[in-house]
């Protein structure tokens, strides 16, 4: 497995609580997509999340998939100004 670059996550935009990155295999026993993962970020307090099983994250290298979900989580409305 490749070394994952460090990343920082902003707190939850709704409640300000700590969040976590989860990496879930998309297979169980003989079913699903062997070697593919779901990358998502969720709030440990209110449960809001981003990421999920987006098709393009399944086919990206691990580092790129993580960077994509981190970028999506860290994007805030004030970033658009």
Residue 39 lies inside a defined structural domain of this protein = yes
The span from the CA of 33 to the CA of 3, in Å, is 22
Residue 3 lies inside a defined structural domain of this protein = no
Residue 56 lies inside a defined structural domain of this protein = yes
Length of the chain: 81
Residue 46 lies inside a defined structural domain of this protein = yes
Residue 7 lies inside a defined structural domain of this protein = no
**Where in the sequence is the domain holding 43, given as residue range(s)?**
19-74
Q: Which helix (H) or strand (E) holds 27?
A: strand 19-28
Q: pLDDT tens for residues 24-52?
A: 887 777 776 667 788 889 999 999 998 75
pTM of the model: 0.75
For the chain, the domain total comes to: 1
Residue 4 lies inside a defined structural domain of this protein = no
The mean per-residue pLDDT over the stretch 14-18 comes to 95
The percentage of the chain sitting over the pLDDT mark of 70, rounded to a whole number, equals 77
Q: Helix, strand, or coil here: 3?
A: coil
Residue 43 lies inside a defined structural domain of this protein = yes
Q: Is the pLDDT reported for residue 79 higher than 70?
A: no
Residue 32 lies inside a defined structural domain of this protein = yes
Q: Which helix (H) or strand (E) holds 72?
A: helix 62-74
């Amino acid at each position: 497995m490749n070394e994952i670059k460090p990343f920082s996550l902003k707190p939850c935009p709704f409640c300000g609580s700590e969040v976590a990155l989860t990496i879930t295999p998309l297979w169980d026993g003989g079913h699903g997509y062997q070697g593919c993962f779901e990358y998502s970020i969720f709030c440990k307090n209110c449960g809001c999340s981003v990421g999920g099983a987006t098709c393009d994250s399944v086919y990206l290298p691990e580092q790129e998939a993580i960077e994509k979900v981190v970028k999506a989580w860290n994007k805030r409305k004030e970033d658009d100004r």
